[in-house]
């Protein structure tokens, strides 16, 4: 008579994935077993063990701090945008009130230097220089033919449609700011009209980080549109 051997059953332990899956499915588990919250201990960055409740409170507090920082950043950006909007509004009114080309140029220079705090600035208008004899050409205003040799260093910019920000080539600095070129840290080049059809506005800062390639150019583009429309009216 043979004796049949009974199969042995080996109880497999629960895997971590199984536990995680169960807790994700039964989110109210710790509500039904609240006594476990006080028993579970988790490591803390300080090296001390804390309860699960304390750990959850710590995580939520960190999230609150992150959201608070994000909110402060958003508020700061909104305030900066309000300031810029006010400056654009003031420029718009000044350009509307300007009665001729001379007053238009003066309004742009005043807005750029006083309103926008430019350390150096130059308005370049394309046209025959002789036709602008009635307008004083100095540190801020300069008329030049678009095909003049002095415009060759600006070829890439002039063929584009948007403002350019950052550090510019020495040849560009020398043309724009001449004896003051060494003081310039960063520059914003703003086209006036499509592909700088009417010219461009150059705004410079001593700070090398004031104008940089990663900054928003919407504000600068709007200034360019306003100045271009005002010049077209003259």
Segments of the chain with pLDDT less than 70: 1-13, 34-35, 37-56, 58-59, 137
Contacts of residue 19, defined as CB under 8 A and 6 or more positions apart, other chains included, come to none
Rounded CA gap, 204 and 191, in Å? 15
Question: 156 CB contacts (<8 Å, ≥6 apart)?
Answer: none
Q: Is the pTM of this model over 0.75?
A: no
For 151, residues 6+ apart whose C-beta sits below 8 A from its C-beta are: 144, 145, 158
At 159 the pLDDT is 93
Sign (positive or negative) of CA dihedral 117, 127, 234, 232: negative
Q: How many other C-beta atoms lie within 10 A of the C-beta of residue 157?
A: 19
Question: Taking phi first (over 0 means left), then psi (-120 to 50 degrees means alpha), and beta for anything else, what does residue 213 get?
Answer: alpha
């Amino acid at each position: 008579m043979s004796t049949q051997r009974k199969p042995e059953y080996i109880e497999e332990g629960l895997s971590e994935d199984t536990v995680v899956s169960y807790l994700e499915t039964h989110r109210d588990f710790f509500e039904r077993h609240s006594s476990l919250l006080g028993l579970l201990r988790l490591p803390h960055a300080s090296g001390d063990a804390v309860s699960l409740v304390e750990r959850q409170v710590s995580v939520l507090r960190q999230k609150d701090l992150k959201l608070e920082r994000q909110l402060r950043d958003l508020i700061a950006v909104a305030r900066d945008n309000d300031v810029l909007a006010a400056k654009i509004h003031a420029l718009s009114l000044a350009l509307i009130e300007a009665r001729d080309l001379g007053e238009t140029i003066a309004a742009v220079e005043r807005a750029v230097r006083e309103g926008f705090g430019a350390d150096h600035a130059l308005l370049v208008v394309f046209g025959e220089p002789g036709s602008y004899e009635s307008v004083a050409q100095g540190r801020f205003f300069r008329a030049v033919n678009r095909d003049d040799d002095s415009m060759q260093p600006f070829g890439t910019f002039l063929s584009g449609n948007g403002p350019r920000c950052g550090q510019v080539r020495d040849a560009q600095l020398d043309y724009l700011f001449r004896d003051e070129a060494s003081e310039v840290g960063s520059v914003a080049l703003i086209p006036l009209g499509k592909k700088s059809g009417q010219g461009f506005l150059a705004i410079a800062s001593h700070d090398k980080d004031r104008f940089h390639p990663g900054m928003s150019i919407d504000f600068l583009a709007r200034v360019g549109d306003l100045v271009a429309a005002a010049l077209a009216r003259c």
